[in-house]
C-alpha cells in the first residue's frame, strides 16, 4: 500500500519535473546540482538579484514540513505527510528528503526508503550520503552494508561522513578487520580521512590495549598532514593510563602543546580519573591547581570525579564540601552531582545529611532516581522520622514514582515494630505513598 501510494506521488512529481525549485538563500546544506534541479546547471549559474540582506529572523524561518514531520509519531503516515505538503505547493529539497529518510530508517521502514530512493533516481538527484541513511540499529548491519556497497550504483557519492559512520559501526561491533577494510577503501577512493576517521580507530585500539598500533596510526595521521585535536590526545592518554603509564600520559600534554594543540578539559579529565581510581586523591586535587595556573576552568565532570571518589570511600562530608566549593567557584552541579552526594550520605546512614542535599537538589529542579528515593525513605523509617518520610513519599508521588514491593514491605514492617510510629503515623505514611 505505502509503496504503491508513493509511486503515485512519484508520477505526480515527475509531471512537474520541469518546474524549477526556488533557491533558499538561508540554507547551507551541501548538494550536487543536476540539470533540472534547483535552477540552472553548475556550469551556467544564474544570479538572481537580492533586494535586501536577509534579517536574522528570516534566516531562522521554520520549515513547515520539517516541523510537521518531527511531530508525526506514526511511521505509516510519513509518506502521506510528504505528499500532502507537496499537493499544497510545498517544494521539497535536501532537508526534506534527508529528514524523511532519517525518520523512516529509525522506524525500520526500509521498503519505504527504497521507494524514496527510487524516486530520487528518477529525478536525477545526486546527494551526498549522510547520517540520515545510516542511523540504523545494529540489527540492520546487513542493510547498511548493502546500501554502502551499492550506493554508487544508485547515483550516490560517498564522502568522509559515509565512511566514518561505517567505520564506527564495525568498531562498535568489535570488528577491527572490517573497519580497517573500509578505511583502506576510503584511501583507495581518494576520500580524505578526517580527524574523526582517525580518532574512532585510535580510540578502539587504545581500549583494546594495542598502544603500538594506535601510535602507528597516530604517526600515519600526522604524516598525512592531519593534526590531532584534544580528543585524539585524550584517547592516547587514556590508553597509556590504562596500561599503567601515567607519567607518559601526562607528558603527552606537553607534546600536544608543542605540536600546536591546546590542552583542554578532556585531557585533564583523563588524568584525574586515573588518579582517583588509584586513590591518589591529593594528586587529583593538585590537577585543579595546575588547571588554575593554565586558566582552564574545571567543569562539573571534573568535580564529579572527586565527589564520586569520596562517596565511594564513605566520606560523604568531603564530597559535600566539594559540592559547595564548586558552586562558590561558579560551577553549577548537575543531577549526577546531587545524586552521588545523596546516595553517599545514605550509604553512611546520615539520612538528615542526605535530606539536606535532596532539598537542594529539588530546589535546583533536578530529580533523584527512584533508587535514591527508596534508599532515603527506608533510612528515614528506620530512624523513626515520619514527617520527613512523608515528604519523600509526596515528592515521589509528584513525579509518578512509587516504592517497589520490597521497600513497602520494609517500610510497613519497620513502622509496626517501632514504638515511635503510632497508628495515625502509619496512616499518614500510607496516604503519602
Query: Would you kindly state where each structural domain of the chain is located, as residue ranges?
Result: 1-42+62-126, 299-360, 369-433
DSSP assignment, residue 386?
H
Q: How far apart are CA 336 and CA 224, in angstroms?
A: 41
| Of residues 138 and 171, more confidently modeled | 171
Q: How far apart are CA 21 and CA 366, in angstroms?
A: 47
Query: What are the distances in angstroms from CA 417 to CA 100, 132, 269, 350, 413?
Result: 61, 60, 49, 22, 6
pLDDT, tens digit (0-9, with 9 covering 90-100), for 44-90: 444 444 444 444 444 444 467 777 787 787 887 887 888 777 767 77
Query: What are the distances in angstroms from CA 316 to CA 84, 259, 306, 341?
Result: 59, 42, 11, 6
Is 280 within 8 Å of 274 (Cβ atoms)?
Answer: no
Q: How far apart are CA 267 and CA 298, in angstroms?
A: 11
Q: How far apart are CA 41 and CA 32, in angstroms?
A: 10
Q: Is the pLDDT of residue 130 over 50?
A: no
Q: How far apart are CA 106 and CA 134, in angstroms?
A: 9
2-16, 31-45, 229-243, 305-319: which range is least confident on average?
A: 31-45
Mapping DSSP onto H, E and C, the string for 195-225 reads HHHHHHHHHHHHHCCCHHHHHHHHHHHHHCC
- Reading the block at residue 70, the C-alpha cell is 518531527
pLDDT, tens digit (0-9, with 9 covering 90-100), for 288-327: 999 989 889 999 999 999 999 999 999 999 999 999 999 9
pLDDT, tens digit (0-9, with 9 covering 90-100), for 163-192: 888 898 899 889 999 999 999 999 998 889
Is 252 within 8 Å of 233 (Cβ atoms)?
Answer: yes
pTM of the model: 0.63
Query: What are the distances in angstroms from CA 384 to CA 358, 373, 378?
Result: 18, 16, 10
pLDDT, tens digit (0-9, with 9 covering 90-100), for 348-403: 999 999 999 999 999 998 888 888 888 888 888 887 777 888 888 888 888 888 77
Q: What's the CA angle centered on 194, arms 207 and 59, to 5 degrees?
A: 120
Amino acid at each position: 500500500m505505502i509503496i504503491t501510494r508513493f509511486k503515485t506521488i512519484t508520477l505526480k512529481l515527475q509531471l512537474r519535473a520541469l518546474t524549477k525549485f526556488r533557491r533558499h538563500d538561508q540554507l547551507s546544506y551541501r548538494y550536487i546540482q543536476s540539470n533540472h534541479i534547483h535552477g540552472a546547471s553548475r556550469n551556467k549559474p544564474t544570479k538572481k538579484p537580492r533586494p535586501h540582506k536577509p534579517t536574522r529572523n528570516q534566516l531562522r524561518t521554520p520549515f513547515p514540513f520539517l516541523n510537521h514531520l518531527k511531530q508525526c509519531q506514526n511511521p505509516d503516515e510519513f509518506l502521506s505527510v510528504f505528499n500532502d505538503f507537496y499537493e499544497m505547493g510545498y517544494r521539497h529539497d535536501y532537508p526534506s528528503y534527508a529528514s524523511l529518510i532519517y525518520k523512516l530508517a529509525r522506524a525500520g521502514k526500509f521498503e519505504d526508503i527504497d521507494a524514496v530512493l527510487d524516486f530520487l533516481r528518477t529525478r536525477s538527484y545526486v546527494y551526498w550520503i549522510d547520517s540520515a541513511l545510516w542511523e540504523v540499529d545494529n540489527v540492520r548491519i546487513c542493510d547498511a552494508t548493502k546500501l554502502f556497497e551499492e550506493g554508487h550504483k544508485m547515483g550516490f557519492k560517498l564522502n568522509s561522513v559515509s565512511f566514518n559512520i561505517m567505520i564506527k559501526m564495525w568498531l562498535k561491533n568489535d570488528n577491527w578487520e572490517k573497519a580497517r577494510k573500509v578505511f583502506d577503501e576510503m584511501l583507495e577512493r581518494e576520500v580524505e580521512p578526517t580527524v574523526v576517521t582517525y580518532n574512532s580507530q585510535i580510540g578502539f585500539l587504545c581500549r583494546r590495549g594495542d598502544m603500538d598500533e594506535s601510535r602507528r596510526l597516530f604517526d600515519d595521521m600526522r604524516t598525512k598532514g592531519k593534526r590531532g585535536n584534544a580528543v585524539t590526545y585524550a584517547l592516547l592518554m587514556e590508553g597509556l593510563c590504562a596500561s599503567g603509564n601515567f607519567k607518559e600520559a601526562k607528558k603527552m600534554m606537553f607534546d600536544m602543546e608543542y605540536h600546536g594543540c591546546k590542552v583542554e578539559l578532556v585531557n585533564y579529565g583523563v588524568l584525574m580519573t586515573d588518579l582517583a581510581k588509584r586513590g591518589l586523591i591529593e594528586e587529583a586535587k593538585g590537577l585543579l591547581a595546575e588547571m588554575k595556573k593554565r586558566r582552564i576552568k574545571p567543569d562539573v565532570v571534573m568535580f564529579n570525579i572527586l565527589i564520586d571518589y569520596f562517596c565511594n570511600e564513605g566520606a560523604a562530608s568531603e564530597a559535600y564540601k566539594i559540592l559547595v566549593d564548586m558552586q562558590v567557584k561558579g560551577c553549577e552541579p548537575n543531577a549526577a552531582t546531587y545524586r552521588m552526594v545523596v546516595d553517599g550520605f545514605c550509604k553512611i546512614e546520615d539520612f538528615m545529611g542526605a535530606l539536606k542535599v535532596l532539598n537542594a537538589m529539588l530546589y535546583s529542579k533536578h530529580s533523584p532516581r527512584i533508587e535514591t528515593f527508596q534508599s532515603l525513605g527506608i533510612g528515614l523509617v528506620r530512624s523513626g522520622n515520619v514527617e520527613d518520610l512523608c515528604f519523600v513519599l509526596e515528592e515521589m508521588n509528584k513525579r509518578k514514582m512509587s516504592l517497589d514491593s520490597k521497600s513497602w514491605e520494609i517500610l510497613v514492617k519497620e513502622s509496626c515494630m517501632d514504638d515511635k510510629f503510632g497508628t495515625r503515623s502509619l496512616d499518614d505514611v500510607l496516604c503519602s505513598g
